[in-house]
Structure 1
Amino acid sequence: MNGQQRARHALEAAGFPPDSLAGLRPLGGGTYNTVEELVLTDGGRLVLKTPPPPETPVLSYERRLLPGEAEFYRGAATAGVPAPQVVALADGHLLMTACPGTPWHLASPEGTDRKALRRELGGMVARLHRVTGPGFGYPSGTFGPLVPDWRTAFTTMYDAVLADARRYRAWLPRSVDEVARIAKTAYDALDEVTVPCLVHFDLWDGNILVERDGAPRIGGLIDGERMFWGDPLADFVSLALLGDIEQERDFLAGYQEGGGKGEFTSAERQRLALYRSYLYLIMLVETVPRAAGEEHVAWVREAVAPQLTAALDELGG
């Protein structure tokens, strides 16, 4: 099925008239699903996401991501946070509304604009973290049903990416066994988390849209496919990707204004280091099933591997 056929099928399945599609263009930035913008004959715009074929090599957690993405958008709507609205969710696709704006890293806000946007973003993320779920873990069911405690959920997630590293024979700066041993030393800190909160877990600049119609503002938080119910601290890893969230004072000020915490205990810093190691493991291991090019592999080893080592050293220390 080509793009036009896929788009028409999704629109008709959602109840649109057969002649609704006026145009189609691929959207870049995604590394897993196929993402396309659909332009309708009435001038409206929708976004269609389609997962890769079942035989595509993936990481363990990447099965059935679209239901989780739809769940994130529904949660964002209840929190009053701008995000796509779900139009239709089927086994083979997710159809949603389009959000206004340009990805943060392309909009490149500076100076007072950046400070105000980071503060606004902090308030939005705090509102997201007030949305709670029925249990901990990925809602896809990939690792079984949601569980009542965060320690069980997260250690299952962590063990899965370590198993992926072994399965794909991925290069890591430390051995898989050493990573597993160090991570376990911090697992007791997970017991502090008792409420499953809505976590996007992929809020890097490419998934934050900046709208410039008038004063710059956040137009939407997109690509919620990697969401889970868990510790809100986990969101801070991608929000300060390859950096330190404690240096993001404008973001943390907005987060506090929205009801979140802006200071961290030693146990919370342990959890942050654990979540950093989890994300950086994913970024290193996924280069194998993605068949990443030499340039990207070199960047990941140069930029991400030292961050994984630093997070493990922090846990080991």
Structure 2
Amino acid sequence: MRTETALASAGIDPASVVSAEQLGGGTYNTAIRLRLADGRRLVLKIAPPETGLSYEHDLLATEAEYYRRTSGPLPSVVGAGPGFLLMTELPGVPWAEAPDADPRRRAELGGIVAGLHRTTGDGFGYPQDPPHPTWPEAFTAMTDAVLADAVRFGVRLPRPAAEIAHLVRRHEPLLELVSTPVLVHFDLWNGNILLDGPRISGIIDAERAFWGDPLAEFVSLTLFRDLDEPLVSGYRDAGGPARFDLPSRRRLALYRVYLDLIMVVEMTPRRDSNAKRARFLTTRLTEDLDAVQRAL
């Protein structure tokens, strides 16, 4: 889709664009920063012509729904349609580009996430797919889909896909503890958290959100690091619904496996030939599968 078409669909005269700059850092959609003659600063996201993994369809509609339904430091939707999303640009730079070990900022992040998790729904799973009545059904279907993608793309996994699927099903009683669908961002690593000076100024890239267990959020919040007390305390103090007891940590291990699977499998349709990254992610998946196995 051309930029002009997306702008016109949102009721904006394409001639009002003063500058357009493609943004880097994304791995799926194309993002373009726009400056308008009236001073507005917008971001236009355009979906690729082909999907990769099974769940990667209509993701921009999911992102628009997330911003419209959730309260927090989020972009405002200016326009949306098939294959595009136009939204306001938030101030700041990705936390990944401005690392800061100040524990108060992690506590602030925990409070923001607790606020995001006040958005609940009527069914479980990805918003772009038919809802499931229970979380075990939804999570099993989500895992089965990425395992089917692994088979379809010929991805070598550290264990057979059928064995991994069976391992997930053996943990369904744990998943039955989740009864309320919460809108989970599931991509809250530091690249999608914006900092503007001393404060967190924005949460972006919510295209991979799903209705599920709020505990799953902590997989990306602690990507490649341990669960830290400032984050947990900030979350609890703001009324976050999740607990961090032993059953919760076992569920968290399952969700790590799910994210590992996505990161390993998506390398093939994206034609990512980085052997070092592949080895690292496969090792991580192996370790997380072993941890889930030991929990039985």
- Superposition TM-score tier, normalisation by shorter sequence: over 0.9
Q: How many residues align?
A: 294
1:147 equivalent in alignment to 2:129: no
Q: Show the counterpart of 2:151.
A: 166
From the superposition, tell whether residues 193 and 22 of structure 1 become closer, same or farther in structure 2 (CA, over 3 Å). Answer: same
Q: For 1:29-68, what aligned pairs fall within 5 Å after superposition?
A: 29-53=25-49, 56-68=50-62
Q: State how far apart, in whole Å, the 1-side matches of 2:165 and 2:14 are.
A: 53
Q: Show the counterpart of 1:289.
A: 269
**2:223 alignment partner, one of 226, 237, 241:** 241
Q: Tell me, which stretches of 5 or more residues in structure 1 are unaligned?
A: none
Q: State how far apart, in whole Å, the 2-side matches of 1:57 and 1:94 are.
A: 16
**1:125 alignment partner, one of 113, 133, 157:** 113
1:315 equivalent in alignment to 2:292: yes
**2:94 alignment partner, one of 85, 100, 103:** 103
Q: Show the counterpart of 1:255.
A: 235
Q: Show the counterpart of 1:134.
A: 122
Show CA shifts across 1:242-274 (max 9, x none). Answer: 2332xx111111101111267522221221111
Higher helix share: 1
Question: CA shift at 1:146, angstroms?
Answer: 1.0
Confirm or deny: 8 A CA contact 1:185 1:315 kept in the other structure. Answer: no
Q: State how far apart, in whole Å, the 1-side matches of 2:82 and 2:35 are.
A: 22
Show CA shifts across 1:64-121 (max 9, x none). Answer: 1111101111122xx3x101111111012110010111000101123xxx21211111
One-letter identity of the residue aligned with 1:314: A
TM-score, normalising length from structure 1? 0.89
Q: Tell me, which stretches of 5 or more residues in structure 2 are unaligned?
A: none
Confirm or deny: 8 A CA contact 1:85 1:97 kept in the other structure. Answer: yes
Identity of aligned residues (%): 51
Q: State how far apart, in whole Å, the 2-side matches of 1:128 and 1:164 are.
A: 30
Q: Show the counterpart of 1:221.
A: 203
- Give secondary structure in 2 for the equivalent of 1:226: coil
Question: CA shift at 1:308, angstroms?
Answer: 1.5
One-letter identity of the residue aligned with 1:19: A
Confirm or deny: 8 A CA contact 1:253 1:262 kept in the other structure. Answer: no
CA RMSD across the alignment = 1.5
Question: CA shift at 1:39, angstroms?
Answer: 1.0
Confirm or deny: 8 A CA contact 1:7 1:38 kept in the other structure. Answer: no
Q: State how far apart, in whole Å, the 2-side matches of 1:12 and 1:57 are.
A: 25
1:274 equivalent in alignment to 2:254: yes
1:69 equivalent in alignment to 2:69: no
Show CA shifts across 1:23-60 (max 9, x none). Answer: 1111111111111111111222101111111xx35000
1:187 equivalent in alignment to 2:164: no
Q: State how far apart, in whole Å, the 1-side matches of 2:254 and 2:23 are.
A: 32
